[in-house]
Amino acid sequence: MTADEVTAFLSASSKVQVATVGKDGEPHLVTMFYALLDGKIAFSTYKSSQKVVNLRRNPTMTCLVEDGTEYDQLRGVALYGQGRIVEDPDVRLQVGAVVGARLAGMPVPEMGAPIDPEFAAALEQSLAKRVIIVMEPDRITTWDHRKA
């Protein structure tokens, strides 16, 4: 995929498979709902989650976003790099608003746009024990079997 195709693909998706490195070197793999923050995959998770424990020990992280059910329709983006832990409440609110709106079936706000105060208050309460993880990719691999 071209850089523009990667951006469009990641913008159209909402779930990412996230792998971090466990204490014994084994992969810890989970699926998360995400938003794009400055063009990078970002998601919220509990401060005490295994992902955060792993990233504090070793920031190595891999993310996979994929689509398609038939072989000739498979496409995806694998990102290899570092997971950056962000505790800034404003960033947490912005990422939480995008992900929360998607999950609630509400209109999705643009990243950085003003958030409805009532929605923001509910989000702040639900995000209080969370951090944001931002994927800082060093390398990106893509494939699109739809292309001949």
Under the banding of pLDDT at 50, 70 and 90, the label for residue 126 is: confident
At 87 the pLDDT is 95
Task: Give the span between the Cα atoms of 25 and 140, in whole angstroms.
Answer: 22
Residue 142 has pLDDT above 90, yes or no: yes
Total number of domains in the chain: 1
The model's pLDDT over 16-68, given as tens digits with 9 standing for 90+, comes to 999 999 999 999 999 999 999 999 999 999 999 999 999 999 999 999 999 99
> Which letter, b or e, does each residue of 132-142 get, where b requires 16 or more Cβ atoms within 10 Å of its Cβ?
bbbbebeeeeb
The DSSP call for residue 90 is H
Task: Give the span between the Cα atoms of 25 and 131, in whole angstroms.
Answer: 23
Q: Which structural domain range is residue 23 located in?
A: 3-144
Residue with tokens 């400055």: 38
Which CATH number goes with the domain that contains 62? 2.30.110.10
